[in-house]
Structure 1
Amino acid sequence: MIRTEALDRLPVRTVLPALARALDEHGVAVLCAPPGTGKTTLVPLVLAGLAELTDPDGSGPAAPVRRVLVAEPRRIAARAAARRMAWLLGETVPGGGAGGPADGRIGFTVRGERRVGPRTVVEVVTTGVLLQRLQRDPELAGVDVVVLDECHERHLDADTSAAFLLDVRAALRPDLRLVAASATTDAEGWARLLGGAPVVQAEGVSHPVEVVWAPPERQVRPPHGMRVDPALLEHVAGVVRRALREREGDVLCFLPGVGEIARVAGRLGGAETLGAEVLQVHGRAPAAVQDAVLAGGSGGRRVVLATSVAESSLTVPGVRVVVDAGLAREPRTDHARGLSALTTVRASRASARQRAGRAGREAPGAVYRCWAEADDARLPRFPAAEITVADLTAFALQVACWGDPDASGLALLDPPPSGAMAAARDVLVATGAVSADGRPTPRGRRMARVGLHPRLARALLDGAREVGARRAAEVVALLSEEPPREYGDDLAAAWRSARRGGDAYAARWRAEARRLEGAARGAGPDGPATGEDPAATGAPRTDDAVAGLIAALAFPERVARARGEGAYLMASGTGAELGEGSRLRSARWLAVAVADRPVTAASARVRLGAVIDEGTAREAAAALHDRGEEIVWSEERRDVVARRVERLGALELAERPLSSPDPERVAAALREGLRREGLGLLRWTPEAVGLRQRLAFLHGALGAPWPDVSDAALLESADDWLGWDLGRARKRADLERVNAGTALERLLPWATGDAARLDELAPERIEVPSGSRVRVDYGGEQPVLAVKLQELFGWQQTPRLAGGRVPVLVHLLSPAGRPAAVTADLASFWQDGYRSVRAELRGRYPRHPWPEDPSTAAPTRRTNARRSGA
């Protein structure tokens, strides 16, 4: 029996005629409807002709019966929407119990579960299932309307589905109708994407929701990686308790992940002390628990701790209060290290509005936001589109199988980042899923049909040949949904725990393993023949060996070799570390299945791995295997290394020295050594240092043709002045024997004849009036002549160098060789400065001459034979 009264209360009913007209005229439409208006339940029923379509005044014919496909981003939402629609019609979904005469008109399909029957008219699917169906049957034969629900969440599968559906409408099915539906979205962007689709806006009649700002009293550390400050979780638990005291009704609390839900649940305690039943809802929760939450309580108060899955699910009955921790999880990919993980971020304003709306679905409510009101404006407007931040390997395989390898022809709100697409194509080429030009191989098409990430599909198909479909499927099922942390970090041990486990995870694992086993047995030429187990043809492998092989096949660049206690180097070149107490710490080789890299850490943390041997590493990562000659400068050895080396990615397996390395490559390695170590590798005699300083002085004073002899310039022109020496050198010791001064002479301007003037323009020594030849110091900004004062008597003019352009800076020394005065103008010094120097020094050095007129006195290097009164 149709529940007409419930249908009539749904506010979206008023805009359904406008939506129908938009679809009739354009074939596409964007529907914006606030939470609780019925867009997920009433709209599909009306479009399918299962509920009457009437104008607000009550007139208007019923719509013809059509088959409608509704795509939801999550399994919990798909199941709940189907069951809610069936309830509104007075029916149950197929397999869900007895119903009326038209039982089974509403069904659903999610991964591992299909509830449809021959009379199903409305089918709710996840966007992942929709993608698989489009790849198998691009025409969507028999489907009249597709509704893409919750578009604002910008999941990659949803964006991809929309692009494929627009292709289908343009090329194959212009009659296929498409509705993009959401509560909060970029309506104009979606309208443009759908080719100028009309926007139908439904007004909500949600009850008022009071906003209560409840920031922590003390500052908490911002989230980074997967870490959330325990102080914030303690505060959230306190806010939940406060909400129970201050408000009526059930409490829905939003947290970023499963771990945070468990920790807050632990802080809240049991129903006896809290006065309310605590329920946990997330993607890993059993379907029965999820369905029970959405079905409502049995009278007592409830606290529902949920991830963002509850943002877009159907109304949670009884909720009057929302507590929002203000956090969400988004995917991030480190393409350079081959690591993908979720990271904790601040929730967007759109998500915060969605969450708050849950409190006003059935009656006035309140939302407690665990952040300051001043911080609210700084939140991002919408969540990040998954296509801009996620690993795009699965997306790249989907678009390759669709016939658009670079996705350039697809209608997408955001284009895929080129770097992420390049990294994705590298993975697909390495696994044999696509050819070098990006086109899918037959193997790649089989991988796409499995409904797994391409890495896991490769592990399933290749692993089934080696160990059998059942064992390969069981390990891949573990990798497709990471086991609970209490299972430990040993993949083989987690496998054994799942086999004997009676928890919700083990039940889901068994169902997924059965599905994957069927997929592997029917995989075709690259997989086992139907009904056969290839493991029977060879020596059986232990569970540990099987787990290691499958993990290594899925993540070949993560095979790792020990380089210290609990420390490893992966084939990708990234370091990895095991936790204290891990049973894997004694392993020489590991296959790392799950790892993340904290923001401040130099190495990744291994969350799940398996012991392997070198043979398994070589087998799984064969695409990374390489043999070749290596002639490089080694920073570790500080010398040229010339060897034949065998590698597995960044892992060195074997080496032997080269007896006759290529001289040109050796010279190139020595040049690299000079760049890294500096010119100190050469032999710098005092004469060489002096020549370099003189050349530097002339280059600064006169410019060309005198050469630039700075470090950067000499390294850049090494071939010009070191070429002959580099050609003969074979190792660091040969460079250390090179006389830098002799080599520098090759840079002198011989061609112009200026080289002959070097001693004239920048003399190494200058003869002073006493007859001494004193060395000039060119190491400073100005040439310096340091000489005893008595040796310069009678010298009227300061010497000038560089063709008279630069005066020498004279350091006048005392008889003991200490500086007594500095001048660049001797004539002025004799007239003005000498008197004070004479007065200070004549008593200290009485055996030296101190004439009253030094400009006419005779210079001398000697002391007086007897004391003089001069």
Structure 2
Amino acid sequence: MRTGLSSLPIDDVLAEIRSVMADHTRLVLAAPPGAGKTTRVPLALAGLLGEPPVIEGRIIMLEPRRIAARMAAQQMATSLGEKLGQTVGLTTRVDRKVSSETRVEVITDGLFTRRILSDPELSGVGAVIFDEFHERRLNSDLGLTLAMEAQGALREDLRILIMSATLDTESVSRVLACPVIESEGRQYPVETRYLGRSQDRERIEDRMPVAIRKALKEEDGSILAFLPGAREILRTADQLDGAPESVRVVPLFGALTPAEQDAAVSPAPEGTRKVVLATDIAESALTIEGVRIVIDSGLSRVAEDAAGGLGTRLSTVKASRASVDQRRGRAGRLSPGVCYRLWDEAATRGLMPAPVPEILKSDLSGLVLTLAEWGERDAGRLIWMDQPPAGRLKSAQDLLVTLGALDAQGSLTPLGTEMACLPLPPRLGALVASAPSPAERALAAEIAALAGERGMGGSSPDLRDRLAGFRKDGSPRARSLKAQAKSWGNGADPGGDMAKLLARAWPDQIARKRPGSAGSYLMASGRAAMLPETDALAKQDWLVIADLGGAAKEARISLAMPIDEAVALEIGGVVSEDRASFDPRTGKFTARRVKALGAIVLSEAPLPKPKPAICAAAMLDAIREEGFPAIGADDVVQETLARIGMLETAGCIEAGGMSLEGLVESAKDWLLPLLKRQGASVPPPHAVREALVTSLDWQVQEALRRDAPLNLELPSGQTARVDYLDDRAPLVSARAQAFYGLSEHLKLAAGRVPVTVEMLSPGMKPVATTQDLGQFWGAGYLDMAKDMRGRYPKHDWPADPASARAHEGRTKKRL
């Protein structure tokens, strides 16, 4: 170990890590926050801590956040007594400091994708480290998949290391087929105090200052307070204005300047206490000196599918149990600490165990474009930590075809190739690459630079205001983005009609103000969007929207500009067509012939007899909105999923983890043909079941028929329905006499799953339940029969039911 470095918990396993990485090409390392994995492991593998190098060539370490990348690189360089850019380098979208001497390069995960696409062999790279992998960012998952592809096909010697603070190491090592090393870390005890949730829906930025003042009175030391985003942080800071001089309030979020971020993580001056107001960026990747108090709002802001805009929207959700545990642990890194939680203790049990991987919930258009550039049209052929949902892949491909990035076969077009070379989401890439003139391309590049960087140019939703603010901004971050925009725009002077540029890239997000509304708009895509009534843009009848935030039902417009109606109709493309809507409550269709720009109806007339395809599309829309209850088929779909789940659990089949959400998303593929045949009639539930089962692989169909039947024939000759939705499923109910003669219990799934037998009295009331008939006949039956003989003396209650003749429950006289 290099002398002069302070001891860290990770040091105890560095020798083991070096040894395993010397002999294996993949490794999973789990170490809690504060163990030192981020700043020690790359240096140890590179031979920079006094031992010979294990890895030949440059080591690339991926960080999911720019601030974490910069601080990790800076800390490693400082520990070596060097400036950043020498032995340790940094590459982010707005900063690059590397040289020919660089042995360890810290890079943001999105830029790694560009690098491996341009150089699939990763020439000169000896190892790729995926840090903070537990965050399960989309770029990290995609980068890992491509790295494993490169390793398998081109670079057998390439090393891949997954590092995480909290991780399901068993499942990760199973996917990667590699060993696991775990570091215990070092943690002091932390007392948890629950302050309860607000009873009057008080804003979190109003509650947090109260909790901070309470903690300042009750405890010593600096405070780390977790809030969901920059808006809540700044509002909280405003309310703490006027705090004593001995208390410094500092924000910490990604859009701050490096100097502001450094101020947040540096030690408080002697004689002062610091209150750091941070997003979840401070959960694990950053060390903040002096903190022994954590105040947790219990909220996170996460990226989710936005079906437009810049690919995702940011939504505020409850943090996962893994996240709040990590936050709590920040109070015990240096000494015993205290964690205040702004919710009730019982609510902790209801939190999700871990964050949902972004690949399962986000827009996948960037991923599909990347795979097309990689040369792979079928994502299912690759190795993923979590397989991308088929429905989201299809939606992403449809969007890329609409943008002109892919052809109908899924191959990259010349426009798509140009879009893929730009480090931008596909929408912004299309905006730049499809601009018709050099001046318009330069203008589009400016728009893309500010739109892709949240908060750049100010907070106004009006693109004109934001662009003016961006052009005036002289900060280092703005200067870097302007340089990028200039390179994307090929150095030309910007000019042209911004509204037309946006409309060409976002034709589905041209929006018209709803009649009689104040700030509510309907987009051509069919989604609703809104602006505050007081916003100047809300006075405009037509907008073209570039970005959205907030809830999915009526998203908040965060970037837009006015567009002339004639221009909107010309670019958006007006069509005349027949449309219908379906009301699940009445089972009736309402049809009309419309002239429309997408979902924006310009004129319409009644249509008495809609065609079957129109009715089918309307019913499919109702299913997307309300699920299968819209057509009365929820039970049969849930039943089929339960049958498949039972067979998967029993090891009879592998069906790929089908879900109700997935079936709704894929209904166009397996249900639409049936809906078209039905025309204006709702299909009966059994027909929906048949359509679903028929869409499955032949082996699954056979297993359902053979090992998970809908009915069972009982010894009495009766056919009994199998209930797969009961809590005791699979369940069969019949009069007790129907089971006479059965010495062995009924089983399904190739004899691996016992059926729950519910015996009924002659009056059809449940009297006994068993999953072991052999044992029941010799024990529980005796008590049941004694009771039944008294209540139903005319019926058959033999002493040896296992040998008796089964029947339908007739009286003795009729036997």
Task: Name the TM-score, length of structure 1 as normaliser.
Answer: 0.66
Instruction: Write the distance in 2 (CA, Å) between the matches of 1:403 and 1:671.
Output: 36
Determine whether 1:208 maps to 2:189: yes
Instruction: Quote the offset at 1:456 in angstroms.
Output: 0.5
Q: Which residue of the other structure, out of 518, 532, 538, is the alignment partner of 1:579?
A: 532
Q: What are the residue-to-residue correspondences of 1:299-314 with 2, within 5 Å? A: 299=270, 300-314=272-286
- Deviation, 1:616, is 3.9
Q: What is the alpha-carbon root mean square deviation over aligned residues?
A: 3.3
**1:363 maps to what in 2?**
335
Q: What is the CA–CA distance in structure 2 between the aligned matches of 1:192 and 1:83, rounded to whole Å?
A: 34
- 2:160 counterpart (178, 185, 192): 178
Q: What amino acid sits opposite 2:521 in the alignment?
A: Y
Offset, 1:106: 0.5
Q: Which moved more, 1:329-338 or 1:395-404?
A: 329-338
| Partner Cα separation in structure 2 for residue 332 and residue 714 of structure 1 | 35
Corresponding residue of 2:415:
443
> How far did residue 33 of structure 1 move?
1.0
Show the 5 A alignment for 1:56-67: 63=54, 66-67=57-58
Conserved? CA contact 2:134–2:165, under 8 Å:
yes
Q: Aligned runs of 1:649-668 on 2, under 5 Å?
A: 649-652=598-601, 668=610
Contact 1:337 1:572 in 2 (8 A): no
User: Is the 1:396–1:406 Cα contact (8 Å) retained in structure 2?
Assistant: no
Q: 1:338 to 1:265 in 2, by over 3 A?
A: closer
Distance in 1 separating the partners of 2:431 and 2:613: 44
For the 8 Å contact 1:112–1:512, the answer to whether it is kept is yes
* Structure 1 residue 158 corresponds to structure 2 residue 127: no
What is the distance in 2 between the residues matched to 1:485 and 1:496? 7
**Does 2:544 correspond to 1:591?**
yes
Separation (CA, whole Å) in 2 of partners of 1:308 and 1:18:
31
2:268 pairs, out of 282, 297, 303, with 297
Q: Distance in 2 between matches of 1:630 and 1:380?
A: 44
1:238-274 deviation digits (Å, cap 9, x = unpaired): 221222222222111111111111121122223436x
Cα distance change, pair 572–65 in 1 and its aligned pair in 2 (3 A): closer
> Cα distance 1:302–1:28, how it changes in 2: closer, same or farther (>3 A)?
same
CA contact (8 A) 2:64 2:137 kept: yes
The letter for the 1-side match of 2:599 is A
Cα pair 1:214 1:371 within 8 Å, conserved: yes
**Residue 364 of structure 1: CA displacement?**
2.6
Q: How does 1:487-566 map to 2 (within 5 A)?
A: 487-501=459-473, 508-521=477-490, 531-532=491-492, 541=496, 545-546=497-498, 548-564=499-515, 566=518
- CA gap of 1:641–1:428, structure 2 versus 1, over 3 A, is closer
One-letter amino acid of the structure 2 residue matched with residue 116 of structure 1: V
Deviation of the 1:367 alpha carbon: 1.8
1:470 Cα deviation from its structure 2 partner: 3.3
- Corresponding residue number in structure 2 for 1:120: 102
Q: 1:294/1:377 Cα in 2 relative to 1: closer, same or farther (>3 Å)?
A: same
Report the Cα offset of residue 350 of structure 1.
1.2
Residues 493-525 of structure 1, C-alpha deviations (whole Å, 9 max, x = no match) = 2221332346x6xx534422321320232xxxx
Q: What secondary structure does 2:466 align onto?
A: helix
Contact 2:457 2:470 in 1 (8 A): no
Q: Which residue of 1 aligns with 2:316?
A: 344
Relative to structure 1, the CA distance from residue 715 to residue 150 in structure 2 (aligned partners, 3 Å threshold; closer, same or farther) is closer
Q: Secondary structure at the match of 2:378?
A: coil
Question: After superposition, where does 1:320-719 map in structure 2 within 5 Å?
Answer: 320-333=292-305, 335=307, 340-463=312-435, 465=437, 467-483=439-455, 487-501=459-473, 508-521=477-490, 531-532=491-492, 541=496, 545-546=497-498, 548-564=499-515, 566=518, 567-596=520-549, 598=551, 603-618=554-569, 620-621=571-572, 625=573, 627-628=575-576, 630=578, 647-652=596-601, 668=610
Q: How much does 1:110 deviate?
A: 0.5
Contact conserved, 1:144 with 1:177, CA < 8 A, in 2?
A: yes
- Are the structure 2 counterparts of residues 147 and 334 from structure 1 closer, same or farther at C-alpha, using a change threshold of 3 Å? closer
Deviations 1:610-646 (A, max 9, x none): 011245435654xxx35456498999xx999997x65
Indicate the residue corresponding to 2:624 in structure 1: none
Could you tell me which residue of structure 2 aligns to residue 30 of structure 1? 28
State the partner residue of 2:127.
Answer: 145
CA deviation digits over 1:304-324, x for unaligned, max 9?
100011113231111121111
Does the aligned pair in 2 maintain the 1:77–1:312 contact within 8 Å? Answer: no
Larger radius of gyration: 1
Instruction: List alignment gaps of at least 5 residues for structure 2.
Output: 619-677, 683-815
User: CA, structure 1 residues 10+474, in 2 after alignment: closer, same or farther (shift >3 Å)?
Assistant: same
Which amino acid in the other structure matches residue 568 of structure 1?
A: Y
2:117 to 135, 158, 162: 135
Distance 1:344 1:641, change over 3 A: closer
In 1, Cα distance between the equivalents of 2:680 and 2:117?
Answer: 58
Give the match's secondary structure for 1:408: helix
**What amino acid does structure 1 have at the position aligned with 2:4?**
E
The separation in 1 between residues aligned to 2:459 and 2:614, in whole angstroms, is: 49
Instruction: Give 3-state SS (helix, strand or coil) of 1:144's partner.
Output: strand
What's the CA shift for 1:337?
A: 11
Measured at CA, do residues 345 and 585 of structure 1 come closer, stay the same or move farther in structure 2, by a change above 3 Å? closer
Contact 1:331/1:342 (<8 A) preserved: yes
TM-score of the superposition, structure 2-length normalised?
Answer: 0.70
Rate the CA distance shift 1:464–1:262 in 2: closer, same or farther, 3 A. farther
Q: 1:467 to 1:483 in 2, by over 3 A?
A: farther
Say if 1:40 and 1:81, in contact at 8 Å, map to a contact too. yes
Q: Is the Cα contact below 8 Å between 1:630 and 1:641 reproduced in 2?
A: yes
> 1 CA distance for matches of 2:393 and 2:114?
21
Superposed displacement of residue 358, structure 1: 1.9
Distance 1:4 1:432 in 2: 58
Q: How many matched pairs?
A: 614
Q: CA deviation at 1:606?
A: 2.5
After superposition, what is the alpha-carbon deviation per residue over 1:548-579, rounded to whole angstroms, capped at 9, x for unaligned? 23432342211112343544331112333332
C-alpha distance in 2, partners of 1:50/1:252?
33
Contact 1:633 1:669 in 2 (8 A): no
Compared with structure 1, are the counterparts of its residues 513 and 147 closer, same or farther at alpha carbon in structure 2 (3 Å cutoff)?
Answer: same
Identity of aligned residues (%): 38
The code of the aligned residue for 1:41 comes to: T
Shift in CA distance, 244/159, structure 1 to aligned 2, threshold 3 Å: same
Measure the CA separation in 1 of the matches of 2:523 and 2:431: 18
Are 1:76 and 2:67 counterparts?
yes
Letter in 2 for 1:204: G
Contact 2:462/2:537 (8 A) holds in 1: yes
Is the CA contact 1:110–1:125 (under 8 Å) kept in the aligned structure 2? yes
Supply the distance in 1 between the matched residues of 2:349 and 2:613 (Cα, whole angstroms).
55
Structure 1 position 392, deviation (Å): 1.2
The answer to whether the 8 A contact 2:46-2:55 is kept is yes
Partner residue of 1:726? Answer: none
CA distance in 1, matches of 2:146, 2:501: 32
1:337, 1:573 within 8 Å by CA — same for their partners in 2? no
Does structure 1 residue 287 correspond to structure 2 residue 258?
yes
Match of 1:219 among 175, 199, 202: 199
Are 1:207 and 1:362, in contact at CA under 8 Å, matched by a contact in 2? yes
Partner residue in 2 for 1:760: none
Q: Give the Cα separation in 2 of the matches to 1:634 and 1:190.
A: 45
The one-letter code matched in structure 2 to 1:288 is: A
* Correspondence list, 1:80-95, <5 A: 80-94=71-85
* TM-superposition CA deviations, 1:469-499 (whole Å, max 9, x none): 4322222222212437964222112221332
State the secondary structure of the residue aligned to 1:584: helix
Mark the runs of 5 or more structure 1 residues left unpaired by the alignment: 54-60, 95-103, 222-228, 522-530, 659-664, 677-712, 718-870
Structure 1 residues 588, 14: CA separation in 2 closer, same or farther (over 3 Å shift)? same
Structure 1 residues 668, 194: closer, same or farther in 2, change over 3 A? closer
* Aligned 8 A contact 2:486 2:492 in 1: no
